[in-house]
Each structure stands twice: as C-alpha cells, then as structure tokens.
Amino acid sequence: MGEEKSKDLQVRFLAYKAGRRPEDFGRDVPFDWPVQVAQSELWHIHLLSDEQIKLYKQRGIRQQIKQTSDQFLVYVQHFSERYRYLLIALIPEPAHKICRKQQTKLPGYADIAEEFHSS
C-alpha cells in the first residue's frame, strides 16, 4: 500500500472511531483465537470492496456487524489510554484463510499490541 493510501486509511479509521463510519468499513470484531491474540485485544475491521458495498445496499443490509468481507485491517486500542490506536496490518484477500494458515503471524501482531499497551 502506498503512503497516500496508507494515510487515507488512517484518516478514515480515526473518523470511524470518532463516530463517522466510512461505507467501506464493515464488521469490526476482536480476534478470539489463539488465546494470546485474544488476550492482547487485537481487533479487525472487514474492508468492503465497491462491489460489496453495492450488494449490501441492494439487499438492504445496513447493520455493520452483518457486512463482512475477506480483507481486513488489524488494529489495537491502548488498554489505559483509550483514545490511542495502532494500525498493525492490512490483510488482503483471502484474509480468513491467511490467518488460519499462517497463525504464526497473529501472535506476532499480539506481541506488537502488547508493546503498544506498555508504551
């Protein structure tokens, strides 16, 4: 991802956390496996393609929790300073398969999150 796109994603993420959800931000949930990852409070937002946005609109699916994709943004919110976030990774399609297949990366992300919590 280029610097300009990266900066745009960061701006849109902060707008989302301030209550203005970009239409390409879908389900936002914590990782619940493996245990180390769940304990570090890593989260991921499903990033929707233009086609998925159009499909969800056509089907009348407006609830964020029901808007899923196979690409997501991994992030963490600081334990004590709740206004602080760290964007850790953008996992491309097929993100779910990648995470299941490369479970070693998730604990690495959890280590990054733990360092962030300690800062």
Cβ proximity of 53 and 24 under 8 Å:
yes
Contacts of 79 by beta carbon, 8 Å cutoff, 6+ apart = 41, 117
The tally of domains found in the chain comes to 1
pLDDT digits (tens, 9 = 90+) for 2-44: 789 899 999 999 999 999 999 999 999 999 888 888 899 999 9
* Chain segment 32-79, per-residue pLDDT in tens: 888 888 899 999 999 999 999 999 999 999 999 999 999 999 999 999
CA distances to 1, 25, 27, 68, 79 from 14, in Å: 18, 12, 16, 20, 17
Q: What is the pLDDT of residue 104?
A: 64
Question: What does the alpha-carbon distance between residue 118 and residue 56 come to, in Å, rounded to a whole number?
Answer: 39
Distance, in Å, from the CA atom of 91 to the CA atom of 74, rounded to the nearest integer, reads 8
Rounded to two decimals, what is the model's pTM?
Answer: 0.91
What's residue 103's pLDDT? 65
* Structural domain boundaries enclosing 96: 3-118
Residue 89 pLDDT level (bands cut at 50, 70, 90): very high
pLDDT, tens digit (0-9, with 9 covering 90-100), for 94-118 = 888 887 776 668 889 999 999 999 9
